Amino acid sequence: MAETTIELRNPSGLHARPAATFVKAATGFKSDIRVVNLTRDAERSAAAKSMLGVLGLGVSHGHTIRISADGEDADEAVRTLREMVEAGLGEAIGG
């Protein structure tokens, strides 16, 4: 099991295009990957490979999420998704 916690700094959070980028990357891994919006509801998680699940978390700019993965490529999955979030998921990073 691997996990990381990160604040979303891109303007749209995990909505629309950034969410699609995140989900597409997650589907490239074999591990079970979960996302939790710690800012809104720390008890509710969603499958990172589900567009509707990720959108349903309501992750906005400034929210903190936890990404966790369990499986053979868990460490790589968490590291890759964290790097993508840090890079803005295709959007310019805002303050």
- Mean pLDDT in the chain? 95
Output the CA torsion 44→58→78→51 (10° steps).
Answer: 100
Q: Which residues are catalytic?
A: 15
Q: Is pLDDT above 60 for 95?
A: no
Beta-strand (E) ranges in 8-91? 32-37, 45-47, 64-70
Measured in residues, the chain has a length of 95
Which CATH fold topology does 2-87 show?
Histidine-containing Protein; Chain: A; (3.30.1340)
Could you tell me the pTM of the whole model? Answer: 0.94
Which one, of 7, 21, 26, 37, lies nearest residue 74 by Cα?
A: 26
Write out the DSSP string of 47-73. Answer: ETT-HHHHHHT---TT-EEEEEEESTT
pLDDT tens for 67-92 read 999 999 999 999 999 999 999 999 98
